Amino acid sequence: MRTTISVIKCDVGSLAGHHIVPKPILEMAEKRLKEAKEQGIINSYFVFNAGDDLELLMVHTRGENNEEVHGLAWEIFQKTAEKAKNLKLYGAGQDLLKTAFSGNIRGMGPGTAEMEIEERPSEPIVVFAADKTSGGAFNFPLFKIFADPFNTAGLIIDPSMAGGFKFEVLDVKENKKAVFKCPEEMYELIALIGSVDRYTISHVWRKRDDLLCAVTSTSRLSLIAGKYVGKDDPVAIVRAQHGLPALGEVLMPFLHSFFVEGWMRGSHWGPIMPVSLKDSKCTIFDGPPRIVAIGFQVVNGEIASDDDGKPLISDLFDDPAFDLARREAIEHAAIMRRMGEFEPARLSSEIMEYTTLPRILERFKDRFIPV
């Protein structure tokens, strides 16, 4: 039996700015997924938010890119966006870039990360979801988790991890992909994924047996819409333990904050802040960019649940161990914001091409004379 973990997410509208998904929207999504479970479309679900992004975690046995599962998510996003419009929530329907659903939600605006797996004897999973950033934000932590022996002790001392991992890198500009092996091609891999706006790690496999270990959402809204419509606010699914990095190694990159692109108007470098689900809301300068992580077990095509069928979910960043990263994030935010609209606080002019800035500069283009 093969189990599929699908995380499909969308900004359908948010409360008081690009800040948080309000309760009625979360409840609507939950109600529909409960029905879908009863109808047998999915086996388990968990609804949460990463800032202003509505996140649907669904576990089922229908495989990746399944029309019914994608159609279910699309229907939920349509209906919740309608509700958001009625409430005049901010950015209602923001990420719904296409109108007619034709079997697959990819390329329509919502973000998707899916993995179809053969369950191991025990199957611990971590789902990460971030707001006010983009797909490349996972390059740094995924590299550390699966390739950096100073992060992951198992790369050195676990015989079942010997040989390392391989990374699929997507060139989001040219829409091409390539696979790089670690440790032997580590430097070349870093050469690419260090450019987080262009290259995104999309899959990670264990090299010796091609076991799928991690997937990320890799859409670029601006490349679908041709203009700035909000950031891509990515999700990632990571398997842990038993010949893969331990849970603690998967969480280790978040001991410290690091910089990601996004934040205010999707136009600034900002420090990522790992937060609990209750603090999953963006405030200062529409941030700082925040990331949540949930941990759970997959068992026989479902999320392991209690006797009432409630999924057992651990809110992984709800832990004082991440206080250091949170404090660093605020300190780095303060340092960066002193720079205002001067680089490197603002993204490079190449990325700003997709924002509203060119419209401002357009007005002055005739003022420039040859020198």
55 binds, among Mg ion, ligand 13P, none (CB under 5 to 8 A by kind): none
Site for Mg ion, residues 113 to 152, rule: CB under 5 A = 131
Instruction: Please classify residue 34 by burial: count the beta carbons closer than 10 Å to its beta carbon, then call 0-12 exposed, 13-18 middle and 19+ buried.
Output: middle
Shortest approach of Mg ion to residue 112 CB, angstroms?
15
- Quick check: helix, strand or coil at residue 86? helix
Helices (H), strands (E): how many in the chain? 10, 16
- Quick check: helix, strand or coil at residue 148? coil
The catalytic residue among 37, 207, 231, 281 is: 231
Question: How far is residue 323's CA from residue 332's CA, in Å, rounded to a whole number?
Answer: 14
Residue 360 CB-half CA count within 13 A: 6
Shortest approach of Mg ion to residue 51 CB, angstroms?
5
Alpha helices in 39-185 (DSSP H): 67-86, 139-147, 154-157
90 is an active site residue: no
85 is an active site residue: no
Which H or E run contains 327? helix 323-337
103 sits near ligand 13P (criterion: CB under 6 A): no
Helices 67-86 & 23-38, crossing angle to 10 degrees?
Answer: 150
Which H or E run contains 351? helix 349-352
**Pair 242, 122: CB distance under 8 Å:** yes
The catalytic residue among 11, 52, 95, 131 is: 11
11 is an active site residue: yes
Question: Which residue number, 165 or 228, has a Cβ lying nearer to Mg ion?
Answer: 228
91 sits near Mg ion (criterion: CB under 5 A): yes
Question: Which residue number, 186 or 211, has a Cβ lying nearer to ligand 13P?
Answer: 211
52 sits near Mg ion (criterion: CB under 5 A): yes
Task: Report residue 322 CA to chain centroid gap.
Answer: 19
Give the residue, chosen from 233, 249, 261, 286, that forms a contact with Mg ion under the rule CB under 5 A: 233
Question: How far is residue 333's CA from residue 101's CA, in Å, rounded to a whole number?
Answer: 40
95 sits near Mg ion (criterion: CB under 5 A): no
Give the residue, chosen from 266, 270, 274, 295, that forms a contact with ligand 13P under the rule CB under 6 A: 266
Question: How far is residue 136's CA from residue 201's CA, in Å, rounded to a whole number?
Answer: 7
Shortest approach of ligand 13P to residue 223 CB, angstroms?
14
Find tokens 């990325």 and name the residue: 351
Shortest approach of ligand 13P to residue 19 CB, angstroms?
9
The catalytic residue among 228, 233, 286, 354 is: 228
Question: How far is residue 218's CA from residue 245's CA, in Å, rounded to a whole number?
Answer: 23
Question: Which residue number, 42 or 84, has a Cβ lying nearer to Mg ion?
Answer: 84
11 sits near Mg ion (criterion: CB under 5 A): yes
Question: How far is residue 102's CA from residue 109's CA, in Å, rounded to a whole number?
Answer: 13
Dmax (CA) for the chain in angstroms is 76
Question: Which residue number, 131 or 261, has a Cβ lying nearer to ligand 13P?
Answer: 131
Give the residue, chosen from 3, 7, 52, 81, that forms a contact with ligand 13P under the rule CB under 6 A: 52
Site for ligand 13P, residues 121 to 180, rule: CB under 6 A = 131-132
Contact range with ligand 13P by CB under 6 A, out of 31-39, 259-267, 308-316, 355-363: 259-267
Site for ligand 13P, residues 219 to 238, rule: CB under 6 A = 230-231, 233
Dihedral of CA 156/158/163/164: which sign? negative
Shortest approach of ligand 13P to residue 129 CB, angstroms?
12
251 binds, among Mg ion, ligand 13P, none (CB under 5 to 8 A by kind): none
Residues that bind ligand 13P (CB under 6 A): 11, 18, 51-52, 91, 94, 131-132, 230-231, 233, 246, 248, 264-266, 286
- Residues with catalytic roles: 11, 228, 231
Residues that bind Mg ion (CB under 5 A): 11, 18, 52-53, 91, 131, 233
